[in-house]
Structures are given as structure tokens and as C-alpha cells.
Structure 1
Amino acid sequence: MNTKTRTLLAFLATSAFYLQSAAASVLPFSSVEEPLADQRYRFIDRFAADEQNQVSRQDFLSAWQQRFDALASFADGKISEEVFVAFEMTELEQQLLNAREAHIRQTLNRFNALDRDKDGTISWEEYQASGQRIFNRFDTMEAGVVSVGDPEPAPRQRASNNNQTDTERRRVRSLLAMPTTHNNQGFLTMFAGNEQQQVTLAQFEQQRRSIFDRTDVNGDGLVSRGEYLDEFMARVGQREQDVRQAHRQLAQQVFRQMDKEQRGWLSKKDFVAYGLAVFQLWDTTNEQQISEAQPLPEQEPQLQLVAHQR
């Protein structure tokens, strides 16, 4: 690792404010797998000016050039792959830290909800009762089995601000998003596996019992707050490792796509040309702006760019 890269890492590691600035991330894509609509929303969220729900070509270009300038200040105007990847991975760590903190808060909230008698532990009876409520919600056919193609359960009622639009209520998906039972497919993925088309109540309860016993580390028949948190955060930790690997690979891939002439460094021309190519692929109506009202591209822009360069 050369002096420029060490300087970059040292600066980023001690500058939380810098990581939160407009010049933070330089990747136009996310390393997490998301539907196209969510990918576009993340793009708009990152590059739109003044909390707008759309991003103009001018706003994007301004933000994109700021990212180049931030990187170039550490690389004499010639950004190497090492600097590019180091910049991205350091910024990723701040995002992962924020996501971990959110998971801890949410996990403790779930523990408190499961601990119905408020004795500071979760008994099997409390855990089983919660599982039965979950299964009943997804067993919309009341057949004792949840299958692919079953009607989705009614959405949970949540408090909302009536003055907000649907777009304003959306949030960017966490990089550490874990499998959830938000819909039928999520339920089956969690409790039946990717290859199975259904799960019975008996199979579901067997899975829940296995999770409970694994979480009850000291084997006293009760899950403490610490045991509950440790079990979930161990799974989050594995997710972190997967995200780090995918993010590093994506950063390397994007750098090599920008460096068309394979010089080993990026000029501002390389950087801007790539950014505008990404913008144009999202701008499916050629309106010089990207909004959620536009049709989605037929294929992920990242994949289209790879195909065009072959």
C-alpha cells in the first residue's frame, strides 16, 4: 500500500463528517441485491439535490464531479484502483456501523415484544405463541400449510404521517437487510428454504424450536436478552462479510469499466463519461432527469454497461 492510499485511509477513518458529505461514495450502484425499482430509488436518494424525489442531469453531474475531486485530491488527479477501492471500503464501514446499530435497536425491541410477562427472558411458550401468530397470518387458506401462490396476508397496520406521500415514506434498503417475513416469499425462504414450495405448521414449529434451542446457549430453557441479541447479531456478522466481499468486487469491476484504456488510473474524463452513461441508462424517457414516474429499464444498468463494453 503506497503513501497516498495510507493517507487516504487515515483521513477517512478519522473523519465521520467527510463520510456523510456529498462526496462520500463513488459507486453509482449498490452491492446489495435489489429489485430495479429499489435500485433506482437508491440512485435518486444519493444524487438528488435538496431532498427532491428526482435527480436532474445537472444535479447528478455536480455530485458525481464532487466525488472525483474528493478522490483526486489524494491521487494527484490520477486515481488508481487501490485508492478507488480503499475509498469505497472505508465509506462502506461507516454504513455498516450505522446498520449494525439499527439492528441492535430493532432486535432489542423484538425481544421486549416477545417477553410478554416482562421477566427479562423469553420462555418457549412465549416464543411458540409468537410463532403461532406468525404462521396463522400467512396461512391465508387456513389449511395448516403455507404454499407458493397463497394469497398474501393483509398488510400490518402502521402509524404514518398522512401528510407524507408514498415516495416520501420510502426508505433506502439497509446494506445489512436480513431475511424477513414481510411477504409470502420471505416467509417461505426463511422456513422452507429456497427449493421448497410449501411449509406445514409442524415443519414451521420444528424450525422455530431449533432456533430457540440454538439461541438458549446455557440450556436453561429460557432465552435471555443477551442470548437473543448475540444469536441475531452473529447472523448479521456473516451478512457483513458477504456484503464486504461483494462491495470490494463491485468497486474493482466499476474501476475497470471506467478505465477503458487499461492505464491503471482514471482521469476526470473517464470518470465523468462513465457516470453520464449510467445516468442515461436510468433516464429511460430521455428527459434529462430520473424519477420514479419513468418506466424502468429492461435490464439493470450495471449489466447493460458490462454488455456494451464487451
Structure 2
Amino acid sequence: MNKFLFAAAVTALVSGCVVVDEQASQGIQPGLTKADRAKVANDDRGHRSRPMTKKGLDRVLKEYDANGDDSVTWAEYNDWRRARFDKTDTNSNGTVDEEEYVNEYEARFNASLKKEHARHQEQTKRRFAALDKDDNEMLAFAEYEKSGNGMFSRWDCDNNSVVNAVDKQCKKAHKAGKKHRRSFLRMPTSHSLRGFMRLYDANDDGEVSKREFDRERRTTFHLTDANKDGKVNFSEYADEYNARLDTAMQRTRRGAIRQTYIRFAVLDDNDDDMMTFDEFQLSGKRIFVRWDKNGDGVVSAADIGVAD
């Protein structure tokens, strides 16, 4: 072998070993280099950085911890992303076009919507049962009104018959709101002050008086009572809620699909209308680095509470 070629080969081999050794000493998995991390640090596209929490870590482990050791290495995450990419590449040509990318996401999103719809149906049954105090499968206005009075009282911390920003720090209402699982459909709910205002601040003046609240509740009850018999049965109650639920689902789905087209354009770094796996992993690296708060190349309990 030409001695110059041999020397170059040895130099390349040694250099490669140094890089791998340096990464290993820092706990960084091969493939996620200092350069990758530096690029991610200066890239603010999507995936806003937030502190890692126990709940957040549990979600990461459930999805990506392939060997069940309560941690996720870059290699595990990269393998998971590779499998997702290959599944999305339906024509197996090694790249993902816009249609493939959107179709894959839409299928997953529709499945999530279906589960969320079913969850809301169960919640509707539970809410109706809780309101129907005499168990006659009918809601009288008095039953509906009693529930509303309790709701207003929880938010009216200073007992002045007006709910506004002053009541935001209400401990009893804030505590109740924390127990409520927020739906990604983002339908307004009285479990948060913002949701309460969206539901009952009819004149949009930033506060809800008891009179205004009672008027909105009476209006809702009247409109829900489709057969105008002065009571609301479960079918009427469910129909009114489902009409709002369907509107929220359509709005959420439209927005989600629109964002998918935007994400594809962002990931298609060279604007050739095709996404390679390397381009796909631009997003993957951003996500992993923002999870790996302590920079040791592993997402684990050690990252909980670590500041960026």
C-alpha cells in the first residue's frame, strides 16, 4: 500500500476513535455529536423547551424505552424514529414525500380523536348522572341550577357575586381545576378560569356577574330541552354536548393537518419535496436534546428538574 495512503488511513482511524472515545466519556451516543447539540441549541423551530417532569419522563419511557431499563438512549430513540420513518415511506423508495408524511400523521391523529371522542362520551354519562340527583333520568332546572350555583361559588372567592381576574388565585377552584385532565380538543371548561370566562362572559367584559351567569345557564338549559317539556333527558343532554364536541373535533383536526404540512416544509431542509431520514432526524435531535436536560446522552430520572 502506498505509504501516504496508509498514513492517511491510520490518521482517519485514530481520529474516529478519538471522536467515539470523547463521546463515550461524555455519555453521548454515537450519532448525536457536540455539533448536533450546538445546532439544536441555536434552533428554535417548534418543540418549546420545558422542564422535564416525572409525568413527562413516564410518557417518554412508555413510548421509547425499548429494553425496559427506565431510560432512553439516543440509539433507542434513533431506532424508534427509523422504524416510524420506514413505516411512513409507503413506497419504500428511501424518502418520504408530503403526501406520505401527512397521511401517516392523519391516520394517527384520527385514532387519537376516536379515543378522545369515546372518553368524552363516558364523561357525558358521568356528568348527567351526577346532575340527576333524584335518579329519574331527567334533569329538572332546579337540579341544573344547583350544580351551577356550586360552580359559581367555587370561583367567586371574595363572595362579591362577580367572577373576574381577582378570583384567579382562588385556592379551592384552582385545586379543583388541577384534578381535571385537559383534553387536546381544548373545549372550554369551568375547571379553569379562562374556560369559565369563555363559557359565561357573554358581553366579553372580563368578568361574570351572578346575574349574567344565571342568564347563560337558563339559556343553555332552554336550548338543550329540545322537546320543550321543561326537563332535559340524557339524549337531549348528550346531543347538545356532542354538537359542541363535533365542532371542536373538526376545528382541532383542521388545525392539526395544517400544521403537518408546515412541519413537512420545515423538515424538508433542501426544499426538494422529499424528506430523507437525516432531514427527518433534524426534528428528532431537537426533541431528544431538549429531553436530555443534563446532556449525558440518556433521558432518565436524572433529567427531572434540571434547568436548561
Query: Per-residue CA shift, 1:117-151, capped at 9, x if unaligned?
Result: 11111011110111001111111111111110323
Give me the whole-angstrom Cα distance separating, in 2, the residues matched to 1:268 and 1:188: 45
Distance 1:108 1:67, change over 3 A: same
Q: What's the RMSD between the two structures over aligned residues?
A: 3.2
Aligned 8 A contact 1:44 1:53 in 2 = no
Query: Per-residue CA shift, 1:177-221, capped at 9, x if unaligned?
Result: 422122333322322269532111111111111111111111111
Give me the whole-angstrom Cα distance separating, in 1, the residues matched to 2:202 and 2:61: 33
1:227 maps to 2:236 = yes
Runs of 4+ aligned residues of structure 1 deviating over 6 Å after TM superposition are 37-40, 50-54
2:170 is matched with which residue? 152
2:280 is matched with which residue? 271
Letter in 1 for 2:107: T
Give me the whole-angstrom Cα distance separating, in 1, the residues matched to 2:265 and 2:199: 36
Q: Select which of 221, 234, 259 maps to 1:250.
A: 259
Q: Select which of 48, 56, 66 maps to 1:41.
A: 56
Query: Per-residue CA shift, 1:80-124, capped at 9, x if unaligned?
Result: 101110111111111111100000000011001111111111011
Aligned 8 A contact 2:74 2:297 in 1 = yes
- For residues 1-310 of structure 1, the aligned pairs below 5 Å read 41=56, 44=60, 47-49=63-65, 55-150=72-167, 151-154=169-172, 155-156=175-176, 173-192=182-201, 195-290=204-299, 291-295=303-307
Aligned 8 A contact 2:102 2:257 in 1 = yes
C-alpha deviation, 1:289, in angstroms: 4.2
Query: Highest CA radius of gyration, 1 or 2?
Result: 2
Give the total of aligned pairs: 253
* Gapped regions of structure 1 (runs ≥ 5): 1-32, 159-168, 298-310
Aligned 8 A contact 2:163 2:209 in 1 = yes
Distance 1:157 1:101, change over 3 A: closer
Give me the whole-angstrom Cα distance separating, in 2, the residues matched to 1:132 and 1:283: 47
Aligned 8 A contact 2:200 2:213 in 1 = yes
Distance 1:214 1:178, change over 3 A: same
Q: TM-score, normalised by structure 1?
A: 0.72
Q: Secondary structure at the match of 1:149?
A: helix
Distance 1:83 1:60, change over 3 A: same
Distance 1:185 1:175, change over 3 A: closer
Query: Per-residue CA shift, 1:132-176, capped at 9, x if unaligned?
Result: 011111111111111103232422499xxxxxxxxxx997x5333
Give me the whole-angstrom Cα distance separating, in 2, the residues matched to 1:45 and 1:120: 43
Q: TM-score, normalised by structure 2?
A: 0.72
* Gapped regions of structure 2 (runs ≥ 5): 1-46
C-alpha deviation, 1:73, in angstroms: 4.4
Moved more, 256-265 or 97-106: 256-265
Q: Secondary structure at the match of 2:93?
A: coil
Aligned 8 A contact 2:106 2:257 in 1 = yes
C-alpha deviation, 1:46, in angstroms: 6.7
